[in-house]
Amino acid sequence: MKKPEVKCIVWDLDDTLWEGILLEVEDVKLNTELKEIIHTLDSRGILHSIASKNDYDTALTKLRDFGLEKYFLYPEINWNAKSESISNIQKNLNIAMESIMFIDDNPFERDEVRHTHPEVECIDAVKLNHLLKHPRLNPRFITKDSQSRRLMYLQDMERKKNEVEYQGPKAEFLALLNMRFSIGNALEEDLKRAEELTIRTHQLNTTGKTYDYEDLKNFVNSKKHKLLISDLKDKYGSHGKIGLALIEISKNFWHLKLFLMSCRVMSYGVGTAFLSYIMHEAKKEGKRLRVDFKPTDRNRMMYVTFKFANFKEIMADESGQMLLENELSSIQNIPPYIELIIQ
């Protein structure tokens, strides 16, 4: 089975990112090629973090001196096991463990991570010359959203920090975000991002199925299908294109063949808003709404979303593939703190 694209590279520091051991040699030297490698991978939408056994303040100062601090999200610089540090990074970024790559010069550290997290691909630091050619680090398309991914995560870190500090109900905090959620028919210029969404989104994906650019273009041009794409903005900035819905239209039904939402926005209620909009539109046309759903080990939250929206299971096969249906007699309200914009 083909491994998924890497979403985050976790770097060791001593004798990996730089030459020398920081607490023994003050003037460690940056691996000169690495700064360009990190910049290039960042421009492809690949995130970076750190798992290093080091003194936090000393290491962060050195990263700042090298002009690299801004690239690393949720750095784990401490004396814990590297596997524990990677677990923390994975939870903070809310990505699958199998989408992480770990780079370290020390075979013991690589083996320790590999033993605890066999899904993580571990790379010897001596092999960095070929990193940019690694097939899991070369997405088919580089979109505007992928180029801005690190910035979006930084904005999200600020949101989370302010939410933790906010004294009051979560709904009140969400209302302060001034969320503007836009839904529209996907245009040809949206299809590269749409393909990227199907490849990268697993937790909030009804079927786990991927569609390539050519498939999606056919759906856009089909009279029997609707391909909807959504984006989200708030006072902190843009989340980018974060939702996709593929609908097959028949005489009596709208059939949702794919519905997905970026895990970065899973707690904001926009999945409910997107689904409620589709339900209202189907009801306007006098149709019932059916949904294909394939349970996986990571999309249970999506299943819960459909159950809360009163979808009933009407069919299931031996593989676990389900068909859900809603007569649309009762539709959840769109959360009041979300401004819905139809394009």
User: What is residue 202's predicted lDDT score, i.e. its pLDDT?
Assistant: 63
Contact 30, 66 (CB under 8 A): yes
Is residue 201 in a domain? yes
Tell whether 133 and 149 lie within a shared domain: no
Contact 46, 8 (CB under 8 A): yes
Is residue 101 in a domain? yes
Tell whether 183 and 209 lie within a shared domain: yes
Nearest alpha-carbon partner for 204 in 152, 242, 255: 242
CATH number, position 19: 3.40.50.1000
Tell whether 180 and 246 lie within a shared domain: yes
Domain of 89 in residue numbering reads as 8-137
Tell whether 128 and 164 lie within a shared domain: no
User: What is residue 317's predicted lDDT score, i.e. its pLDDT?
Assistant: 84
Q: From the CB of residue 39, how many other CB atoms can be counted at a distance below 10 Å?
A: 12
Q: Which of 97, 119, 137 is the last residue of a domain?
A: 137
Please name the residues in contact with 104: beta carbons below 8 A apart, sequence gap of 6 or more: 11, 12, 16, 51, 82, 110, 113, 122, 123, 124, 125
Tell whether 44 and 183 lie within a shared domain: no
Tell whether 57 and 182 lie within a shared domain: no
Residue pointed to by tokens 């989408």:
99
Q: Give, in order, the Cα–Cα distances in Å from 124 to each of 17, 99, 132.
A: 12, 17, 14
Tell whether 263 and 279 lie within a shared domain: yes
Is residue 2 in a domain? no
Contact 142, 48 (CB under 8 A): no
User: What is residue 203's predicted lDDT score, i.e. its pLDDT?
Assistant: 63
Full DSSP string of 219-288? HHT-TTEEEEEEEEEETTEEEEEEEEEEEEE-SSEEEEEEEEE-GGGTTTTHHHHHHHHHHHHHHHTT-E
Q: Name 9's bridge partners.
A: 48, 101
Contact 206, 305 (CB under 8 A): no
Tell whether 169 and 255 lie within a shared domain: yes
Is residue 174 in a domain? yes
Q: Which of 86, 118, 137 is the last residue of a domain?
A: 137
Tell whether 152 and 298 lie within a shared domain: yes
Tokens of 55: 């003194």
Is residue 3 in a domain? no
CATH number, position 201: 3.40.630.30
Q: Which amino acid is at 277?
A: Y
Q: Name 227's bridge partners.
A: 246
Tell whether 130 and 260 lie within a shared domain: no
Contact 241, 148 (CB under 8 A): no
Is residue 308 in a domain? yes
Q: Which of 137, 166, 183 is the last residue of a domain?
A: 137
Nearest alpha-carbon partner for 237 in 259, 264, 261, 263: 264
Q: From the CB of residue 191, how many other CB atoms can be counted at a distance below 10 Å?
A: 23
User: What is residue 71's predicted lDDT score, i.e. its pLDDT?
Assistant: 97
For the chain (length 343 residues), average pLDDT per consecutive 10? 87 95 89 90 96 96 95 97 98 93 97 97 92 93 89 92 92 95 94 88 74 92 95 94 94 92 85 94 95 83 87 86 91 93 93
User: What is residue 92's predicted lDDT score, i.e. its pLDDT?
Assistant: 94
- Domains identified in the chain, total number: 2
Is residue 1 in a domain? no
Is residue 55 in a domain? yes
Element (H, E) at 195: helix 191-200
